[in-house]
Chain A
Amino acid sequence: MTIHALLYAAAAMYAAAFLLHLAGKGRGSFAALCSGFVVHTAYQVTRGWIAGIFIPNGMFDGLFLISWGMALAVILSKLLSDSEMAWESAAAPIFLFAVLALVYPKGLIPPTPNKLTVWANIFFLTEVTGQACFYLAGWFAAVGIFTKRVTNNYHSLIVWGFVLYSVAQVTGALWAYIGWATTFRWGSRHLQSAVIWCYFAAYLHLRFLPRWGAREKSWYAAAGFFVVAFNSLGSHLHEMGFPRIGG
């Protein structure tokens, strides 16, 4: 059995969580989601040894972290929020991203000397968990629109996502500075990262614009799902062709 069996198991539990949610078994769905998260966490930690020695970079590989970050955000929201919202419905996009991780090359891109720094790890962790919050907010906004029960329950997810994403912008800039002598590079990766930040910075100002009601804000947040996808998945898909080890 390889360590990747853990990822398959986590994906199966996320799928079970969504099916139980559809069947109206809220508690069962949440239990399955929590189980999936625990197994997924074990997988992410194990990835640290994928090269035969401990290299933390394997734990923070983007596409494997997205569904983990989304599951974590849903669990925390369910436990800490006052809202009665059906947080478990998010098991659907969590499962979707877990499936993406399943078909993704699972090895480690051999790290460069410039990548062996804690700044790189913090950058990837905060960037992906920030994106996970944006995806979830987009999902819940869309669910609200299509069920005609528009709320602003997704708002705190966007705030959390924005804080995490801002930390990623800063740690990414610091990493680029110590690694490549500049805090910003003129390239599609840095530009698209800034696109996501500006999009959600604009969202945070909507609260002060009276003409933007709850429904319009929901549409904006739902569109954010695609803004994040268009500006981040490309680099993940592109890296599928990279040489990897230990997969």
Chain B
Amino acid sequence: MKRFLDIIGDLRIAFWLLLAVAVIMWIGSLYASAEYQLFDSLNGVRVQDWFSEKGLGALSSTWWLPALFFAFALLGLNTAACTLRRVMALWPRRTDMPAKRFMVLLSPSIIHLLFIGMLSGHLLTFTALTQEKAPIEEGVVLDLAGTGEFTVKSVKNEFFDKGSLLADRIRQTTVELSFMKNGVERTVPLEFLHSISMNGALLQLDMQKRKKSGAPIAQNPADETCNKEHNYHYAELLKETRPQLYIIATRDPGLFILIPGFALVILVMGWYFYQIGFGRESKAPPID
């Protein structure tokens, strides 16, 4: 068992796997830029469905995706073995040192376990996500991703102050949704950045710019920006050309791992690096 863990948990393998993952993602980013529409269609759908429907037909552009998942699988295995090996070496020594020192030594293992949790959470998101998106306007009745029927009662835009250079641009939109619960009509507001939960699905507001004729503008590859605002340039969102609003309904089991995992990994990592003086070699603990 120890020999097995030593081989698959080797740190040299971890190093080269991390570099391999970086290289594959860099190659993938070039394909994602060159074929924006193809890879954008992967967002919001399960990766296995997308790959059998679109990926297999474009293998010359999508080959890196299975390679990436394979490399991540190996990295997860390597990290698990390495962590187990380290904890097995540390645990018998827990009474030989102060508890704080033991926790400092154990922290990298906890961070690595959280990293494995993050990988699992993302895998769950990519393979088990359900997402539906529909355009909305006042009066429309929808049933998305098992939310049950609800009606868009009203749509109200709030604009930036008249005196500013942003005057007449949308600051916030409030959509009132009504639905029946126990025979009683209920109304809830939905706004940008303020999602609501309906029958276990997460509802969020999204929008896309329109031409003056009212037709939505096809997504432009150039809109994949540093600001993650890939849908449209908001500079053009004036009162005269109101954007097309959408509601996105999402069921994502991976979030239950990812969201608490994010908080934990930052806390543990921050505490660990603080304890070792943020990389001063003399304060860094040995590997085992």
Contacts and interface: CB of A to CB of B under 8 A. Distances in A.
Interface of A: 50-53, 55, 62, 109-117, 120, 152, 155-160, 163, 166-167, 170, 172-189, 191-192, 194-195, 198-199, 201-202, 205-209, 231, 235-236, 238-239, 241-246
A239 B269 contact: no
27 contacts: A52-B163, A53-B161, A62-B226, A110-B166, A110-B169, A113-B171, A113-B191, A114-B192, A117-B193, A156-B278, A170-B263, A178-B193, A181-B44, A181-B202, A181-B204, A186-B40, A187-B43, A188-B30, A191-B26, A195-B26, A202-B15, A202-B18, A205-B18, A206-B15, A209-B15, A235-B226, A241-B222
Contacts of A183: 122, 125, 254-255, 258
Contact of A186 (B19, B26, B42, B236): B42
B106 to A, nearest CB: 16
B170 A113 contact: yes
Given A113-B173, A206-B15, A186 B279 contact: no
B287 A208 contact: yes
Contacts of A180: 204, 206, 228, 248
Closest 8 CB pairs of A and B: A159-B279, A243-B235, A235-B226, A113-B192, A156-B279, A202-B18, A52-B164, A198-B22
Contacts of A241: 222
Contact of B235 (A172, A201, A231, A245): A245
Given A155-B281, A174-B262, 20 more contacts: A53-B163, A109-B234, A110-B234, A112-B192, A112-B229, A158-B279, A159-B278, A160-B278, A163-B270, A166-B266, A178-B193, A181-B131, A181-B195, A182-B250, A186-B39, A191-B25, A194-B25, A198-B21, A235-B226, A244-B235
B47 to A, nearest CB: 9
Contacts of A185: 43, 228, 230
Contacts of B235: 109-110, 242-245
Contact of A199 (B11, B19, B195): B19
B5 interface: no
B121 to A, nearest CB: 8
B95 interface: no
Contacts of B160: 51, 53
